[in-house]
Every structure is written in C-alpha cells, then in structure tokens.
Amino acid sequence: MKAVILVGGEATRLQPLTCNTPKAIVPVLNTPFLEHVIRHLSRHQVKDIILAQGHLAQPIEGYLGNGSQFGVRLYYSIEDAPLGTGGAVKNAERYLDETFLMLNGDIITDLDITAMVDFHRERKAKVTIATTPVDDPTSYGLIETDAQGRITRFLEKPSQDEITTNMINAGTYVLEPDILTYIPPQVKFSIEHELFALLPSRGIPTYSYQYFTYWIDVGTPEKYLQLHRDLLSGKSSQYTLTTGKEILIGEQCDIHSTAQIKGPVVIGANCSIERRVKLTGPVVIGDGCTILEDSVIEDSIIWRNARLGPRVRLKNAILADNCCFNAGSSSEGAVLGDNVTVASNCKLEPGSQIWPGTTVEAKT
C-alpha cells in the first residue's frame, strides 16, 4: 500500500507552537508527531509514503530523510502555492497508480488500517472514509449512510438542529486512483467540500468505515495537551509509552535526590532537575532542560532546552524550545512559542499565548 499524508498546512490553530515549527515535527512524547503516524502506517505494511507539503517543508525533510530509519520509503510532493486537501493529493498523482490511503496530517488514531482496506476492497468501493463518533459534531463533517454503510449525504459543520448522527469524517480515506480525475490540476480544491459532496449524486461507490477506538484531531494547544494526557494514561494502544504511573528518564540526566516525581512523567536526555523540584504528571520534559530548586511543574509539556529558575510554578502549560522562566515566575494554562523569556516574579495571565522571541516583563 501507498499513503499520502497531508502536511502542508500552516497549523494556525496550533500557534504559537507552530510559528517556526511545522506541525508534522511538533514533539509528542519527545518524538515528532509525524513519526508516530509513519510508524503506525508501517505496522500495517504501508511502506511507500508521500508527504504532501508546502509550509516549512525543509525541516520536515531534514528530519525524516528517505524514511529508512522507520522502515518505509518517503517521497516529497511540494506545493508552490497552497492547493487545499484535494489539490495536494492531485499534486502527488504521479506516485499513485494503485489503491492508496490519504491521511490528514493532524490526526492520532488507533484505526485498524488493514481492516479498513479490506472493507474497501470487499465492497469494491471507489472511496472509503473512516468515520468515528464524537460528543459534539458541530465542528466536523457529518456522514449519513444507508444500512450497508454506503454514504448518502455529507454535512459540514452542522448546527445543533441539523445533527442526525454523531459519526464524523475522521480524516483517513482509502481511494482508487481514478477518483483523481475529478480534481483539476494545480488548482486549490477541497476533497471534503468539493469532491466528496458530489460522489453520492454521481452514483460513485462511496462507503463509511466506522470505528470506535482512539481518535483525536490535534488542531489546538488544548487538544495537544489532551493528547499527552491520553497517551500517558494509556487511552491509545498504538502510542502509549508508559503504563500507569511509570516514570521514564532519558540518558545523562542529573536528578537531585530530594526531587519529587509523581508519574506519569517522561524526561528527555541531558536534563538537570535540582533540589526539591516537584513534578506531578502528566508531564513531558524535552532534552537539555534545566529546572532549578523548589520549582513545581504539573500537567505540562516542555520542549527542548528550557531553563526554569528557582521557585517557578507551571500548571497546564506548554513551552516550546528554548524558553526561560526566571525566578519566582508562574503560569497556568499558558502557551509559549520558542525563545520566550519570562521575567522574575512575573505571573502570566491564565491561558496566555506568547509569540516566539517575546520577553515578558513583570508588572509593576
């Protein structure tokens, strides 16, 4: 099998984390997001993967290379200008000469890809769309089906009085290559709004593959933090690195004997955690971080090379690379882009979003 992963978006909803870092390599449990997706595909014998990309393309290729370290072959399809979800896959058409998968590049899921492909082939479908239930479908695309699972209607972002089902488009598709003839070349085109919407009226065999295992759209900082909570608590069978209250500590770390660590906690390599620091999971700390004495970190994600001074307090926070909290500063629910400095004794407003390179001064 081949797969196309859409990784070309600007990920504006995930800013300020993605101002300088493409969503595809935003760390999840200290591993780039896309690596989790690729390894999941590889476990289902998907070995040829095309990355449809545009925004911040070079860092992705620089990290992933040809894919050999993951047991796959990676190809890169670059857009000169944004082409939308349909235009992006059309731009990769030269690689697609057989049944293929298409995935939105912001989904983590336990979907059984092998079973979905089997379902697609058994029904001789042209398009099969993975669908999953959610509590509130108003932010997604509803999919109505008949008793055999054939799709009869698409409804994007319905109002409450339009909801007829809680099954939504889960962002993974199995497609036959001839379906690409319906997409014009080098034109911005939405596969969800423009292609899928016309399929039922054309009589093209289009099916829903329903599944009820783990699924999350990591589109916002809140969802990004929730993903880590879910993985560290074992809600996803595919990506869980810890079980229960396990604590994972990377190589060459210096952790003082008086530090208190309550899992689940993942600590990267070359970190220094000093006297009386308290870490209460779920917490993930990236490589090269320093946390000085009497700091308290709870339910937070910290990327690489952060420096937290003494008596820092963080809760429900996300810090990108190279952030610095000086002595006595604190935050609840803040999201910091890379290279942010917070002055001593500065208390960030709850839910603050701080853009890269900013220095936040204490209020007087």
Grouping H, G, I as helix, E, B as strand and the rest as coil, residue 100 is strand
Q: By the 8 A CB rule, do 33 and 11 touch?
A: no
Dihedral of CA 249/252/254/257: which sign? positive
DSSP 81: S
Q: How far is CA 211 from CA 45, 224, 293, in A?
A: 20, 22, 47
Nearest in space to 115 (alpha carbons), one of 254, 17, 213: 213
What does 10-71 look like in DSSP terms, one character per residue? --GGGTTTTSSS-GGGSEETTEEHHHHHHHHHHHTT--EEEEEE-TTHHHHHHHHTTSGGGT
Given the residues 2, 47, 90, 157, select the one marked as catalytic: 157
Whole-number Å distance between alpha carbons of 177 and 336:
42
Q: Which residues pair with 88 in a beta bridge?
A: none
Peptide bond into 264 cis (omega under 30): yes
Bridge-based pairing state of the strands 127-133 and 167-175: antiparallel
User: Can you name the residues that pair with 109 across neighbouring β-strands?
Assistant: 215
Residue the block writes with tokens 């591993």: 31
Query: What is the amino acid identity at position 164?
Result: T
Look-up of token digits 């690195």: 241
> Which 3 state secondary structure label does DSSP give 341?
strand
* Residue 235 is a catalytic residue: no
Q: Distance (Å, rounded) from C-alpha 172 to C-alpha 4?
A: 10
Cα–Cα distance, 325 to 335 (Å, whole number): 13
What distance in Å separates the CA atoms of residue 359 and residue 319, rounded to the nearest whole number?
14
Active site residues: 157
